[in-house]
Amino acid sequence: MKINGKAMVAVMMMMVGSLATAGCSTASAADTGLVAPEETAATAPVDGASSTAGVEKDERFFHYYAPFAPPRARFEVRGFAPSARHFWAPGYYRWNGREHVWIGGRWELGREGLLFVAPHWVNRFGRYEYIPGRWVRRF
């Protein structure tokens, strides 16, 4: 069977196009660490003991950085707690790789003997570092 050159080019173009639309396995924004994770009190860990945006890893933790400070925290109307076991987890700004996005506060269930420290941003040596929320033991 003899294949026409134009037909072969058309088939190759269709194959390349289908691969391009299917995507590839390159790193996404979440893989590169440019996005600070969205947090809830339920997913926060229990604490046992560059001037550009990015992420760094040391021996124990990931460190998320934004190139500029987040705006001031927004005022939130709390309402009433669903029960005496609930506490208010305040809202915070999350860096999405381009800008700070507000994540609203919510009522969460408390944990016996633990105190929740909300996520926040600190200025360290001219860079704004995101400190994830975590649980610490009450003394």
Residue 88 has phi, psi (to 5 degrees) of: -90, 115
pLDDT for position 75? 94
pLDDT for position 132? 87
pLDDT for position 63? 76
pLDDT digits (tens, 9 = 90+) for 38-87: 667 666 666 543 444 566 665 556 778 888 889 998 999 999 999 999 99
DSSP H/E element including 8: helix 5-22
Buried-exposed string 119-138: b where 16+ CB fall within 10 A, e elsewhere: bebeeeeebbbbbbbbbeee
pLDDT for position 85? 93
Token output for 79: 């309402």
Instruction: Give the predicted TM-score (pTM) of the model.
Output: 0.56
pLDDT digits (tens, 9 = 90+) for 10-41: 656 665 555 444 544 444 444 445 556 666 76
